[in-house]
Amino acid sequence: MPAAASATGLSSPGAAPFRLPASGCAHQGHLRLPPPAAAAACRRRLLLRCAASSGGGDGAGGSGGSDPALEEQRRRQAELAARIASGEFTVQGPGWIAPLVGKLSKLGPPGELAAALLTRVAGAGAARGGPEIPQAVGSINAVVGQAFFVPLYDLFLTYGGIFRLNFGPKSFLIVSDPAIAKHILRENSKAYSKGILAEILEFVMGTGLIPADGEIWRVRRRAIVPALHQKYVTAMIGLFGEASDRFCEKLDKAAVDGEDVEMESLFSRFTLDVIGKAVFNYDFDSLSYDNGIVEAVYVTLREAEMRSTSPIPTWEIPIWKDISPRQKKVNEALKLINSTLDELIAICKRLVEQEDLQFHEEYMNEQDPSILHFLLASGDDVSSKQLRDDLMTMLIAGHETSAAVLTWTFYLLSKYPKVMAKLQDEVDSVLGDGLPTIEDVKKLKYTTRVINESLRLYPQPPVLIRRSLEDDMLGGYPIGRGEDIFISVWNLHHCPKHWDDAEVFNPERWPLDGPNPNEINQNFSYLPFGGGPRKCVGDMFATFETVVATAMLVKRFDFQMAPGAPPVDMTTGATIHTTEGLKMTVTRRTRAPVIPNLEMKIISDSQEPTLSTPSMVVSAASVASGEDQGGVS
Ligand code: HEM
């Protein structure tokens, strides 16, 4: 269970956002930072606390032995801690800023511009003479070579639930406090836009639902949400099962050939196949083939990820963007995707025109249950460009996220064999030989908890991005319009104050008979699908997809890290990737032979079951396949 979710603390002036331990380590703004020696002592205490709660040990599952990835993570944390303690990131804010901003503002437009710049560099609080948000300045080197959200965790432990981070002229507010996250995402969501995210994604998603703001977002959200109705999501379970079955065939071949497999790329292909069918009824079949369109999708995705992590926007440099081979490739990929989407839209339009249409709330075309079909059948009055933007957005939103969840779930399962054993027990008792049904999925409660817990440890994406559209108060601090904000879901999900043994993969922390954990019942300490009006529209879809895939894969196979596999480290794009893939050895599962007992049902030649005693069953199919006799299911 989450540890006590206190949202009051020492790091802000009023109703402060996050309370660090009663050691008084949290600092009240950059004007009151302790001297480096005190910071070092404070930092050591924090580290000790975190190390004590760090996972990799036995925990619920018992990985048995130290995890090199965790060791490396600890080493980096200690290194960064030493740099924080040395004062490298700490700026002492001068008290002359507020009066100077006041004077500059009175000097007409040039003065106003200078005041705005100074406000941006110094922070809104200082510029307004109000309490100042704790401030850290980083050298870009602090983030290079590791996923950028990792050092933010250490800074969070030092500076509290909201602090400012400056990289040269760029300034960001880092939010790791549930109450502030709730304020931005839900209570005052209208005052925040997608900011940088919209700018970065414009080239691929245009005004699709993720980057869109204002009226366009409102209209498109209202059109798209109804398409993911209960009946549609239930129908998708069949699709998840079929795709998982194809995945199993692929793994089966590798198991027979004794070849190790790189699971991260396979998960990516699996989820691409699923989302293509689900959103616009297109079979990428990327698990079987590499073709032009699959490559085009990946070129585009990698470009989006590169743009979201690159410090210099080379793609905006006028001549460079026309002659750079990389940009040419991206443009060609986009052209191919757009023409494919246009073709799919045209085909679907023809189908809808020929249909004897009776549109209603849970409308679904049995042959083509895709979201595109629903949107066109609903008479959605939308331009082809907007429709394309929406489809592209869902393709990307529903692809890499689910793939990343599956990747990290299987990594965690390989580290926690007891969790894997319990998971396989549940799956064996629930799933039969056919594809899972909605009833089965509802019974896969532990499997669902495994996914919930994997999403806690590896949230996808690890940060949510916003920009303030007006002045506001965050955790008692005034902030100005135009602030770029990162809500660190990673920090929220790893906060030692909120979670017992925060670093341990422990699906048991979520009771099986309890509600499905979400941002509401965890009061914004757990945000796997965001929160407020911009919450993910595919949360149910994605949960069922990852549950079905996990269940079907672990039913058929055992998974271990391959001998000599590279260490599994994190890197960031839009989601958390591994640095060098997830190389695993996959083996067919063998199960202990079932010894028939007198309580078992005897199957006659005619396949009509005759009961020798009133209760139990051995199915003819399982006898024929040898499943229960140590064979392969
Ligand atoms: C495990 C898989 C998934 C995860 C972890 C996930 C996570 C998220 C998160 C955290 C957000 C909120 C972003 C923000 O507030 O800035 C979001 C938004 C969104 N997601 Fe997902 N998502 C997943 C799967 C899907 C799928 C399968 C679809 C489509 C079928 C989808 C479609 C969207 C869309 C359209 C939005 C934007 C909603 C809006 O702004 O109104 N997602 N997702």
CB 261 within 8 A of CB 231: no
State whether 235 and 105 are in the same domain.
no
State whether 319 and 426 are in the same domain.
yes
Which range among 41-55, 487-501, 549-563, 565-579 shows the weakest confidence by mean pLDDT? 41-55
pLDDT in the model for residue 34:
29
In a domain, 51, yes or no: no
User: Does residue 416 line the site of ligand 1, with CB under 6 A?
Assistant: no
pLDDT in the model for residue 373:
95
In a domain, 132, yes or no: no
In a domain, 388, yes or no: yes
In a domain, 597, yes or no: no
Q: Which of 124, 159, 187 marks a domain boundary?
A: 124
Mean pLDDT, the chain, rounded, equals 79
User: Does residue 541 line the site of ligand 1, with CB under 6 A?
Assistant: yes
CB 27 within 8 A of CB 33: yes
Check residue 557 and give left, alpha or beta (phi > 0: left; psi -120 to 50: alpha).
Answer: beta
Residue nearest atom 4 of ligand 1, based on CA coordinates: 401
In a domain, 194, yes or no: no
| Bridge partners, residue 486, by sequence | 174, 465
Q: How far apart are CA 29 and CA 34, in angstroms?
A: 10
Q: What is the CATH number of the domain that holds 422?
A: 1.10.630.10
Is residue 147 scored above 90 in pLDDT? Answer: no
State whether 561 and 475 are in the same domain.
yes
User: Does residue 529 line the site of ligand 1, with CB under 6 A?
Assistant: yes
State whether 118 and 211 are in the same domain.
no
From first CA to last CA, the distance across the chain in angstroms is 35
pLDDT in the model for residue 321:
73
Is residue 132 scored above 80 in pLDDT? Answer: yes
User: Does residue 269 line the site of ligand 1, with CB under 6 A?
Assistant: no
Q: Tally Cβ neighbours within 10 Å of residue 331.
A: 16
pLDDT in the model for residue 8:
24
pLDDT in the model for residue 177:
97
In a domain, 56, yes or no: no
- Written as six digits, the tokens of 377 are 């059948």
Residue nearest atom 20 of ligand 1, based on CA coordinates: 536
Q: How far apart are CA 106 and CA 111, in angstroms?
A: 7
Predicted confidence band at 312 (pLDDT cuts at 50, 70, 90)?
confident
User: Does residue 223 line the site of ligand 1, with CB under 6 A?
Assistant: no
Is residue 38 scored above 80 in pLDDT? Answer: no
Is residue 22 scored above 60 in pLDDT? Answer: no
pLDDT in the model for residue 127:
58
Helix pair angle (384-397, 292-309), 10° resolution: 80
- Written as six digits, the tokens of 136 are 């850290």
Is residue 256 scored above 50 in pLDDT? Answer: yes
State whether 361 and 254 are in the same domain.
yes
* 21 CA distance to ligand 1 middle (Å): 34
Is residue 519 scored above 70 in pLDDT? Answer: yes
Which range among 2-11, 84-93, 393-402 shows the weakest confidence by mean pLDDT? 2-11
Domain of 114, in residue numbers? 98-124
State whether 110 and 218 are in the same domain.
no
State whether 230 and 111 are in the same domain.
no
Q: How far apart are CA 633 and CA 627, in angstroms?
A: 5
State whether 223 and 110 are in the same domain.
no
Is residue 553 scored above 90 in pLDDT? Answer: yes
Is residue 528 scored above 60 in pLDDT? Answer: yes
Is residue 247 scored above 80 in pLDDT? Answer: yes
pLDDT in the model for residue 590:
77
pLDDT in the model for residue 310:
74
pLDDT in the model for residue 171:
87
**Once rounded to an integer, what is the mean pLDDT over residues 552-571?**
96
* 378 CA distance to ligand 1 middle (Å): 22
pLDDT in the model for residue 413:
98
pLDDT in the model for residue 116:
61
Is residue 63 scored above 60 in pLDDT? Answer: no
Predicted confidence band at 306 (pLDDT cuts at 50, 70, 90)?
confident
Q: Give me the sign of the Cα torsion angle 618, 619, 620, 621.
A: negative
Predicted confidence band at 141 (pLDDT cuts at 50, 70, 90)?
low
Which range among 174-178, 312-316, 377-381, 399-403 shows the weakest confidence by mean pLDDT? 312-316
Instruction: Say which residues have a Cβ less than 8 Å from residue 198's Cβ, sequence separation at least 6.
Output: 211, 212, 213
**Once rounded to an integer, what is the mean pLDDT over residues 252-274?**
96
pLDDT tens for residues 91-100?
A: 444 555 655 6
pLDDT in the model for residue 602:
37
Any idea what the Cα angle at residue 322 is, between residues 316 and 324, rounded to 5°? 90
Pocket test for ligand 1, best of 401, 522, 540 (most atoms within 8 A of CB): 401
Predicted confidence band at 45 (pLDDT cuts at 50, 70, 90)?
very low
Which burial class, exposed, middle or buried, applies to 212 when counting CB atoms under 10 A from its CB (0-12, 13-18, 19+)?
Answer: buried
State whether 109 and 219 are in the same domain.
no
What is the pTM for the complete model shown?
A: 0.78
- Written as six digits, the tokens of 156 are 């969070």
Residues making up the annotated binding site for heme are 536
Predicted confidence band at 380 (pLDDT cuts at 50, 70, 90)?
confident
CA distances from 46 to 152, 153, 496, 611 (A): 14, 12, 10, 64
- Written as six digits, the tokens of 211 are 């980057």
Q: What percentage of the chain reaches a pLDDT higher than 90? A: 58
**Once rounded to an integer, what is the mean pLDDT over residues 250-264?**
96
Q: How far apart are CA 241 and CA 441, in angstroms?
A: 11
Is residue 370 scored above 60 in pLDDT? Answer: yes
Distance from the Cα of residue 109 to its chain's centroid: 43
pLDDT tens for residues 428-442?
A: 999 998 999 999 999
Is residue 187 scored above 80 in pLDDT? Answer: yes
Does this complex have an ipTM over 0.90? yes
Atom of ligand 1 nearest to the CA of 279: 30
**Once rounded to an integer, what is the mean pLDDT over residues 326-334?**
92
Which range among 84-88, 224-228, 325-329, 511-515 shows the weakest confidence by mean pLDDT? 84-88
Q: How far apart are CA 72 and CA 53, in angstroms?
A: 16
State whether 418 and 512 are in the same domain.
yes
Q: How far apart are CA 196 and CA 516, in angstroms?
A: 32
Pocket test for ligand 1, best of 536, 537, 547, 576 (most atoms within 8 A of CB): 536
State whether 213 and 119 are in the same domain.
no
* 223 CA distance to ligand 1 middle (Å): 16
- Written as six digits, the tokens of 380 are 């959605």
Which range among 251-260, 378-387, 602-611 shows the weakest confidence by mean pLDDT? 602-611
* 217 CA distance to ligand 1 middle (Å): 14
Q: What percentage of the chain reaches a pLDDT higher than 70? A: 71
Which range among 56-65, 466-475, 517-526, 561-570 shows the weakest confidence by mean pLDDT? 56-65
Q: How far apart are CA 517 and CA 631, in angstroms?
A: 37
Is residue 622 scored above 60 in pLDDT? Answer: no
Which range among 164-178, 483-497, 501-515 shows the weakest confidence by mean pLDDT? 164-178
In a domain, 1, yes or no: no
Q: How many domains does the structure of the chain reveal?
A: 2
Q: How far apart are CA 277 and CA 285, in angstroms?
A: 10
Looking at per-residue pLDDT, the higher value among 321 and 94 belongs to 321
User: Does residue 460 line the site of ligand 1, with CB under 6 A?
Assistant: yes
Half-sphere exposure at residue 539, Cβ-oriented, CA atoms within 13 angstroms? 16
State whether 217 and 115 are in the same domain.
no
pLDDT tens for residues 205-223?
A: 999 999 999 999 999 999 9
Is residue 62 scored above 50 in pLDDT? Answer: no
Which range among 116-125, 195-204, 546-555 shows the weakest confidence by mean pLDDT? 116-125
DSSP H helical ranges for 281-367: 292-309, 318-323, 325-354
Residue nearest atom 43 of ligand 1, based on CA coordinates: 536
Q: Tally Cβ neighbours within 10 Å of residue 350.
A: 11
**Single-letter amino acid code for the residue at 225:** V
In a domain, 600, yes or no: no
